[in-house]
Structure 1
Amino acid sequence: MAQGQWLKKRLLIILLLTTAALILGLQTFLPAKHSPTPIAKTAPIAAMTFSPSLPPTVVPDRLFRQVQSLAFERYTPAQRQQARDYIVAELQAAGWVPSLIPFQGGVNILAQRPGQVRTSNSLLVAAHYDTVAGSPGADDNASGVATVLEIAHLFAQQSTARPLQLAFFDLEEQNLQGSFAFANDPQQRADLAGVIVLEMLGFACHTPGCQRQPQGLPITPPSDKGDFLVVVGDTEHLPLLQSFAQPPPDLPAVLALPTPMKGLLTPDLLRSDHAPFWYQEIGAVMVTDTANFRNPHYHQPSDTPDTIDRPFLSGAAQLVVNATARLLSQSTPLTTPAQ
């Protein structure tokens, strides 16, 4: 067989295997007609134990106020310092003790609190706080930062089985530098059970055809309208994806994408801060409104708070809060069970 024919055949086989893995992965957690499988019980914890069936409720006005406060260009060192000062002040006001973690060229922010099960590893919820030059970044990514800050307010006094970490990454727009620095540090990643990365949560479009999809994605979105969230996760850690399954009918629909081979054949799924954790074999999901596949203001001066769909953002934030609550209520590993 000629070398060119052999290569084409090999690529076809890889694509077929990828498609099969994606379909099989979807079947493991897409909404079913029967009741969802109950979350495994853990050892009893303190009197303030959080119940995943009653997650805290997002405060929409507070959430949007955070977006408005952060909607300025966050590109130069001085601009990013201004954003850091705001984030640190908000964390402190919510009762957290944030730390600054410098790396070459930037500074990450980390806040954490312990869980009740000492042997349990942490859940990290993260968003990047920088922007490209010339954009105020209301959706990209003040919406993600605002949601992490909302989690800080809602979970500050909650006792949960699993420890919770909150991170705000610098320089995502410059080759994911902040998340690479974090994930590549053995000390920072040593205690992680899984990661939820928030990448643009506030834009929705409701006209037919306004939603596009990446090339090579072997699945069709639920609608050609941009009124749903996408959750991208690696197939080795499906419990992270399962935490977003079966959303209530009053919240945005969720398209979950279990991604085999660490996204090798779908590079558009590697464009955010979850990717460095995949490369370190740490389970991570990215939650997104699909960015430039929906939002015409992506990386533009027009990415302003008035373009945010406030009900959609509140619903997206509530979905993240619900998933966070489910994952914090457990102390078991978040790896995919062996078949």
Structure 2
Amino acid sequence: MVLAGVRQHKVVAGLEFYLDEMPGETRAVVTQNGEVHSLYIERDTDRFENRLGTQLVGRVARVEPGLKAAFIDTGAGEPFGFMSLPKAVHLTEGQKVRVQVSAEIRESKGPALKYLGEGQGDARILSAGPGVTQILRELAGSEEIITGLKAVEMSLHAEEEARSTSVIRSDVGLDLAIQRTRALIAADIDYAPLPGRDSRKGRDAVNRFGLNEVARQLRLKHWGGIVAIDLAGVAFQGDSIVNLAKAVFSGWNGVAIGPLSRFGLLQVSVPWSHTPLDERLAHRDTVLLDSVRRLHHALLSDRATPVYELVCGAESAKRLAPLVAALGPRARLSADGPAGAFTIKQG
């Protein structure tokens, strides 16, 4: 079975699956040979109307003939969903339609929607897209899903990886920088020569490794759009590099590989799917939830201590109270700390 909207990967050896469940947030992590392969984040405050794969009835809020598209009110408020119109479909304002979320919200843009047909009745969800637990179980199949302390630690490590914008691999001479701009994703593959290695072979190896690493970073960060990859000295190896890129992205739906320029720049088009992780992690709730995760980690890593206490400011305590209470009787909350500060201490 293939989950709607989930970016698939080939089933290969060395995959491990982690489920980090805590009050307020659930994370699913996939690793391959010890490296973070994928990270999915779901929060209790998320709207199902914006979830990838959700099917619903929406109302046409505005038709844009020049764009051959329409903005759809799905019941989640603005920004409304954006839907490109099939050639034979003509909509009017106020009309009800059945749609499916094909890409989640990002920046100030609403979800991208796919037209399924005419709708009836009020705006409502017909079937919700898969949550992260379902995604992980589908990807894992019969493999074990690791929970508890190991899963918490792996999700913290995965978050650190998702925030990083560089990858250094001295064993192969790779220095990779990858950044997201408003217009595109920029990836720069540099070669740091290794002693005793032929420079031509070294650059070829770094480009092979670097393209795989770019794909891993895009998958991990949930980035899409135009990806401009500056390769290491490949101006005269266009066919081999393009073929290599096609092999690297062969398991990805909707990816297009552009030609290699004479300056060694390769362009790849990757469809958007989930909300980018940098936007998820930049949300104001992240700091609050991270404090709960650190408290949860302390409780799991030290079961002998009767009580652990999360100390924070009064305003934060109001929001954190139900989350801390859900961790059980060993978890306590104190509002005696300064505003914006979070401390974990033994009770």
Q: Which has the higher helix share?
A: 1
Range class of TM-score, shorter chain: under 0.3
**Higher relative contact order structure (alpha carbons within 8 Å, sequence separation ≥ 6):** 1
TM-score (norm: length of structure 2): 0.23
Q: Which has the higher strand share?
A: 2
Rg larger in structure: 2
